[in-house]
Amino acid sequence: MTPKAENQARFGVAPDAMVFARGVRKSYGPLEVLKGIDATVPAGSVACIIGPSGSGKSTFLRCINHLEQLSGGILLVDGEFVGYDLRDGKLYEVKNSLLCKRRADIGMVFQSFNLFSHMTVMENLIEAPLRVRGMPVGEARAKAEILLARVGLSDKAARYPRELSGGQQQRVAIARALAMNPKVLLFDEPTSALDPELVGEVLQVMRDLAASGMTMVVVTHEIGFAREVGDQLIFMDQGVIVERGVPREMIANPQSPRTREFLSRVL
Ligand code: ADP
Ligand code: MG
């Protein structure tokens, strides 16, 4: 059995689970931010996470992306422990070098774009493939061109981020994440910083990505997107998952008063 299959068998993880969280806890000192999160995101599916500010949504994404050490529970991405390895029935912290390698397989798109401002769009796209993957520059450029075409920005390769609109910058950020061939793409409120008229072009790129089979975890307040594109909808509040379900059903008929109250505010 491969280590991945062993982990999956041991914890009863579905073979197609890209992200598997069970009882995930995270505290900052006395502040308990995640109080036991259970979630499974099958490969090729889209999970949307909604919830009020401070409920722990970003922290959960940061845990999936190896940016936080868990305070408890288990979290597997593609069958591998986040931050740990299991050997002889014991968990060992993984070395920093391995952590970086695993992080490289997980794409993240932030609210604030986070492009390298002193680099052109093309340089932004090839930076990580060259440095982290050691890809030959010709190959990295060719791939970047394909990705820019995919997000509708073929004519912007030589531009700097400040020369682009917020919507264009966010599409570059998505292309940059894709340049690493991620197993899963995490989005943290990707349209929250955009002027309303620029939200649609970013959601369209995300819709196309979902249709292409990308596994995505999307924290968003765009309920229409969640209903249309999401395979599951998760409502978090105060560090717990209050409710989850099929987006269309949950939005039409929320079971928890807290979900109902939150939806009535964002719809
Ligand atoms: P959300 O994304 O749902 O708005 P966050 O995950 O950002 O929520 O934050 C959840 C809680 O954790 C908040 O109370 C926040 O202040 C706290 N928090 C987040 N990151 C840190 C940190 N690095 N140190 C201390 N507290 C933090
Ligand atoms: Mg957040």
Q: Contact 124/176 with Cβ under 8 angstroms?
A: yes
Ligand 1 pocket: which of 27, 31, 32, 33 to mutate (most atoms within 8 A of CB): 33
Measuring from atom 25 of ligand 1, which residue has the nearest CA?
A: 28
- Give the number of the ligand closest to the Cα of residue 57: 1
Q: Contact 216/209 with Cβ under 8 angstroms?
A: yes
Model pLDDT for residues 28-44, shown as the tens digit of each residue: 999 999 999 999 999 99
ipTM of model over 0.90: yes
Q: Considering all CA atoms of the chain, what is the largest pairwise distance in Å, rounded to the nearest integer? A: 55
Report the distance separating Cα 44 and Cα 259, nearest Å. 26
Of 98 and 125, more confident: 125
| Shortest-distance atom of ligand 1 to CA 188 | 2
Question: Residue 88, SS3?
Answer: coil
Give me the pLDDT at residue 2, please: 83
Sign (positive/negative) of CA torsion 105, 110, 113, 115? negative
**pLDDT over threshold 90, residue 264:** yes
CA of 54 to the centre of ligand 2 (A): 7
Cross-strand partners of 27: 32
DSSP state of 136: -
Give me the pLDDT at residue 121, please: 98
Distance of CA 149 to the CA centre of its chain: 22
Q: What is the pTM of this model?
A: 0.95
Report the distance separating Cα 210 and Cα 218, nearest Å. 11
| Shortest-distance atom of ligand 1 to CA 52 | 3
| Shortest-distance atom of ligand 1 to CA 56 | 6
- Give the number of the ligand closest to the Cα of residue 53: 1
At 80, the pLDDT band (50, 70, 90 cuts) reads: confident
Structure tokens at 77: 């991405």
Measuring from atom 27 of ligand 1, which residue has the nearest CA?
A: 28
Residue ranges around ligand 1 (CB below 6 Å): 28, 31, 33, 51, 53-59
| Shortest-distance atom of ligand 1 to CA 62 | 6
Lowest mean pLDDT of 9-18, 80-89, 97-106, name the range. 80-89
Q: Contact 215/45 with Cβ under 8 angstroms?
A: yes
| Shortest-distance atom of ligand 1 to CA 31 | 26
Give me the pLDDT at residue 150, please: 97
CA of 108 to the centre of ligand 2 (A): 13
Measuring from atom 5 of ligand 1, which residue has the nearest CA?
A: 56
Measuring from atom 11 of ligand 1, which residue has the nearest CA?
A: 54
- Protein residues within 5 Å, CB atom, of ion ligand 2: 58
Report the distance separating Cα 36 and Cα 39, nearest Å. 10
